[in-house]
Structure 1
Amino acid sequence: MSWLPTIIKACYFLAALLFILGLKRMSSPRTARGGIVWAGYGMLLAVLATFFLPDMHNRGLIIAAVLIGVSAAWWTGRRVAMTAMPQMVALYNGMGGGAAAAIGAVELIGYARSSGLLHAVPDTSPLRPEAWAVNGLPPALSPTELALGVLGALIGAVSFSGSMIAFAKLQGWMDKRFVFPGQRAVNLLLLAAAVVVGVLLAIGHASPALIAAFFALALAFGLMMTLPIGGADMPVVISLYNAFTGLAVSFEGFVLGNEAMIIAGMVVGAAGTLLTQLMAKAMNRSIGNVLFGSFGAAGGEAQAIEGAQKPVDAADAAVMMAYAERVVIVPGYGLAVAQAQHKVWEFAQLLIKRGVKVKFAIHPVAGRMPGHMNVLLAEAGVPYDLIADMDDINPEFPATDVALVIGANDVVNPVAKTDPASPIYGMPILDVVNAKQVIVIKRGKGTGFAGIENALFYADNTRMLYGDGQAAVGELVNEVKAIDG
């Protein structure tokens, strides 16, 4: 069937087109859901086409693995709470990087076998069946393929181990930051050692000991690079490792000669890189600081915050907003924890019916991953035209009668502009403090994920409505309904 390879390549091309169109649709909240479906169809087409590659081996094992993976993803995807979505994204992204690293490992082991550096049973990997030699051994990789395979394996291993640490931090299984003297030097030494061993592999010294040392160093670097990163910087970390995974998949696609992997990896890598740049800008950090810096490290003793937090009850807060002209609602991770998005939208609708102009303000890194708050509000049915980003909403805060902050902390902290010793100094924030009145719904008096006090909570125009987010908003709903009669 000489026409079969052409059909397979056509399917790969169509799958790549669906990936690109799907990603394009994901750029807008209105079409994001359809974009995910389009990209999903593209992946399904690419997987099905792969089964028809000439001389494909171990189809039964591949099908079993696919069924296990799909079942696990389906089950966890339906059961995971919105609060756990960031760590699920980190976990799945790490699995993609790990898969790319595993492909690189298989190719390096195959190269060692074909070069006589590893004496074992013939490789029966289905990854490169169309190029098998007559003696049953995989063919020697070209210098370019070998170099790309090593580079993809390095990036994929770093993404895998780093994403696992990010998952553990988001899940609350380990401390938010882990630092020690000389940590940057250790990280650079690990990276340098991994690169040196990788170069040796790329020039043909693919011995089993070097292969093992290479992956051990790459995995260790991913761990050490992520350990010092504070929780407030997790959106940057997740987008960075997303870019890493895409690049790793693309490089391994070149090694395998798989067009679908090449294009999909390049698209994910490019999108992840752009997103990382946007997130880094929103955190006021350079990409170099993202890669090698110790996120959240303060530069000195922070300024003392004067004053006291002033409580308010739900009845008074409801009156303030019911008779306001403009109200801006600022959601944060606490909103997701409380599962309060539906109650918040119900409350906003009551205000809108009374003639109050209501908007939702979203910081680029609010929550634990890029777009976290947008997903929550979309789930509750909030119209897209009521959602404003930071740059658009900040000039409107001085004319805002009441800003309602629900679960947000670090992204509204004024010390980002006033205290050079603060870990978040220089980070663009939502200028909530400039509103005429601020109401903050918060469980207690604890600090945010960055572990620092929030000067907004002590401001003269701020009142604290303590309690669970959903319960507190429910009280506001009842109080406004009581006003309406």
Structure 2
Amino acid sequence: MTPRAALIEAAYLLASILFILGLRSLTHPDRARRGMQLAALGMLVAIVGTLLHQDIVSYRWIVAGLALGAVIGYPLGVYVPMTAMPQRIAISHMFGAVAATLVGVAEYHTLGDGAQVGRVEMAALGFEVLFGALTITGSFMAFGKLQELLPSRPVTFPGQNVVSLAIFAAAVALFASLVADPARPAAFYAMVALALAFGGSLVLPIGGADMPVVISLLNSYAGLASAATGFAIGNDVLIIAGALDGASGFVLSIIMSRAMNRSFTNVLFGAFGSPPAAAGKTAEGLTVHAITPEDAAIQLAFARLVIVVPGYGMAVAQAQHQVRELAQLVEKNGGTVLYAIHPVAGRMPGHMNVLLAEADIPYDKLKEMDDVNDQFKNADVALVVGANDVVNPAARTDRSSPIYGMPILNVDEAKQVIVLKRSMRPGFAGIENELFYRDNTAMLFGDAKASLARLVQEIKQL
């Protein structure tokens, strides 16, 4: 082994260690920032190691790519608001999948359109472009739904699952034929086209309520494509990083599916998030109790235990800083404030944790569902800020409900529930929320940020 090759391998080994340490640090909130820094350092080391490769004959396009990547990446990381972070992550998955797919296509073309490709290498290339291509369009569709460029509800038509599965089966059949005979460029490019079509058809019928699982699953697909790229071009760090990404994304998808008491097949083909007409019970004949900011402020000011339940509405209103200010006033009056985090609250894994951390809310006050559910019965006030489906008691009581069996936060067990919401519009699951009509629930209508600011003012005046 030449000194240059040894240096490259050492760089790849160091990068892999940093990736693993970074992933491990992400398992706990107070180490998450350090984990991201370690992972970023690992990526820098991996890039430097790759730039030392002897097969590089010109750095002109590489430098141009690095400059363009920095120009695009810096604004995405710094200026994109936290409320748009799910969309940004979906786009990041798309960019990664585009890179993996283009590498696979370029490698196949460079090797004589398969004439110089062995069967094992073809298996790696085919796996790479198959998963890479479906991740491209799948991530783009997820971005469109999250950005509301496309309907967030499921978009379905009769026989849609059959069509999607037929497209995927045809792509897999072409993949198998290419492994048997790699020198079939028409089959290769047809497989890429079918994979692109399947990615779009896969995500289009999935509703907004399932976006956290979809984003995690797409992350897994992008990782698998990257690992296959590493096998195809003989790059060790891509194999390791891709395997870590793919495995962690898949495990996270399983965890979130269990949090919704649903299977992968139900998430991918169940069209969850249908319009309200398809739901179970309706609110006919039921009434809600509206509360004034003055009355809500009195309850919060004298509460001994307040549990805040954040949801996507908090993200949309960018109300996390007002939540912190309100909590500080409650604590100043001698109360205790905890934050109940449902695994699938928001539009991406850890969405609520990220927003609350941005507002400098202590990590030890962020409680996972299993840790906080038993404490609701002792809470004087449960303050629901923009959450909907994850606090719906129908998941426990209504067998006809599409969310029946999904673990929820036991908000209804609190002595008093105050819900901050713009209107009575259903959440992404498209069903009425029984919580809103309970005797111990009061609705404070309006923008969450403005409502919280009003509550802060009223408490200060008490």
TM range (shorter): over 0.9
Matches within 5 A, 1:434-449: 434-449=413-428
Q: Deviations over 1:211-246 (max 9, x none)?
A: 221111101111111011000110000000111111
Instruction: Tell me which of 111, 117, 124 is aligned to 1:148.
Output: 124
Give the structure 2 partner of residue 3 of structure 1.
Answer: 3
Following superposition, which runs of at least 4 residues in structure 1 exceed 6 angstroms of deviation?
Answer: none
Q: Is the 8 A contact 1:366 1:373 kept in 2?
A: yes
Cα distance in 2 for residues equivalent to 1:26 and 1:195 = 35
**Amino acid corresponding to residue 236 of structure 2 in structure 1:** E
Give the structure 2 partner of residue 295 of structure 1.
Answer: 272
Q: Is the 8 A contact 1:283 1:428 kept in 2?
A: yes
Cα distance in 1 for residues equivalent to 2:206 and 2:245 = 23
Instruction: Tell me which of 324, 328, 335 is aligned to 1:345.
Output: 324
Q: Deviations over 1:110-135 (max 9, x none)?
A: 334462xxxxxxxxxxxxxxxxxxxx
Cα distance in 2 for residues equivalent to 1:408 and 1:69 = 36
Cα distance in 1 for residues equivalent to 2:105 and 2:438 = 56
Where 1:46 maps in the other structure, the secondary structure is helix
Give the structure 2 partner of residue 171 of structure 1.
Answer: 147
Cα distance in 2 for residues equivalent to 1:241 and 1:101 = 14
Matches within 5 A, 1:122-137: none
Give the structure 1 partner of residue 163 of structure 2.
Answer: 186
Where 1:355 maps in the other structure, the secondary structure is coil
**Amino acid corresponding to residue 160 of structure 2 in structure 1:** Q
Q: Is the 8 A contact 2:291 2:444 kept in 1?
A: yes
In structure 2, relative to structure 1, the CA distance for the partners of 1:114 and 1:174 (3 Å cut) is closer
Cα distance in 1 for residues equivalent to 2:214 and 2:58 = 36
Cα distance in 1 for residues equivalent to 2:296 and 2:59 = 63
Report the alpha carbon displacement of residue 78 of structure 1 after superposing the two structures with TM.
Answer: 1.6
Identity of aligned residues (%): 49
Instruction: Tell me which of 229, 234, 242 is aligned to 1:252.
Output: 229
Matched, 1:413 2:389: no
Instruction: Tell me which of 156, 162, 184 is aligned to 2:138.
Output: 162
**Amino acid corresponding to residue 145 of structure 1 in structure 2:** E
Cα distance in 1 for residues equivalent to 2:14 and 2:287 = 61
Report the alpha carbon displacement of residue 300 of structure 1 after superposing the two structures with TM.
Answer: 6.0
**Amino acid corresponding to residue 80 of structure 2 in structure 1:** V
Q: Deviations over 1:115-164 (max 9, x none)?
A: 2xxxxxxxxxxxxxxxxxxxxxxxx3332121011012111111111010
Where 1:54 maps in the other structure, the secondary structure is coil
Instruction: Compare 464-473 and 57-66 and name the one that shifted more.
Output: 57-66
Cα distance in 2 for residues equivalent to 1:250 and 1:396 = 44
Cα distance in 1 for residues equivalent to 2:93 and 2:384 = 31
Instruction: Compare 302-311 and 464-473 and name the one that shifted more.
Output: 302-311
Matches within 5 A, 1:7-406: 7-113=7-113, 115=115, 140-176=116-152, 177-296=154-273, 302-305=280-283, 306-406=285-385
Matched, 1:479 2:458: yes
Cα distance in 2 for residues equivalent to 1:71 and 1:256 = 27
In structure 2, relative to structure 1, the CA distance for the partners of 1:304 and 1:295 (3 Å cut) is closer
TM-score, with structure 1 as normaliser: 0.92
Q: Deviations over 1:16-69 (max 9, x none)?
A: 111111111111110111111111111111111111111313421111012101
**Amino acid corresponding to residue 308 of structure 1 in structure 2:** T
Cα distance in 1 for residues equivalent to 2:189 and 2:399 = 45
TM-score, with structure 2 as normaliser: 0.96
Number of residue pairs aligned between Structure 1 and Structure 2: 459
Q: Is the 8 A contact 1:108 1:206 kept in 2?
A: no
Instruction: Compare 404-413 and 104-113 and name the one that shifted more.
Output: 104-113
Unaligned runs of 5+ in 2: none
Where 1:163 maps in the other structure, the secondary structure is helix
CA RMSD of aligned residues (A): 1.6
Q: Is the 8 A contact 1:307 1:459 kept in 2?
A: no
**Amino acid corresponding to residue 303 of structure 1 in structure 2:** K
Q: Deviations over 1:189-223 (max 9, x none)?
A: 01100000111122224433212211111011111
Cα distance in 1 for residues equivalent to 2:157 and 2:400 = 19
Cα distance in 1 for residues equivalent to 2:94 and 2:85 = 14
Where 1:31 maps in the other structure, the secondary structure is helix
**Amino acid corresponding to residue 52 of structure 2 in structure 1:** F
Cα distance in 2 for residues equivalent to 1:82 and 1:167 = 15
Report the alpha carbon displacement of residue 415 of structure 1 after superposing the two structures with TM.
Answer: 1.4
Give the structure 2 partner of residue 433 of structure 1.
Answer: 412
Q: Deviations over 1:374-396 (max 9, x none)?
A: 01111111111111111111111
Instruction: Tell me which of 433, 438, 444 is aligned to 1:454.
Output: 433
**Amino acid corresponding to residue 139 of structure 2 in structure 1:** S
Q: Is the 8 A contact 2:122 2:182 kept in 1?
A: no
Where 2:409 maps in the other structure, the secondary structure is coil
Cα distance in 2 for residues equivalent to 1:300 and 1:61 = 53
Instruction: Compare 90-99 and 226-235 and name the one that shifted more.
Output: 90-99
Report the alpha carbon displacement of residue 73 of structure 1 after superposing the two structures with TM.
Answer: 1.0
Report the alpha carbon displacement of residue 288 of structure 1 after superposing the two structures with TM.
Answer: 2.8
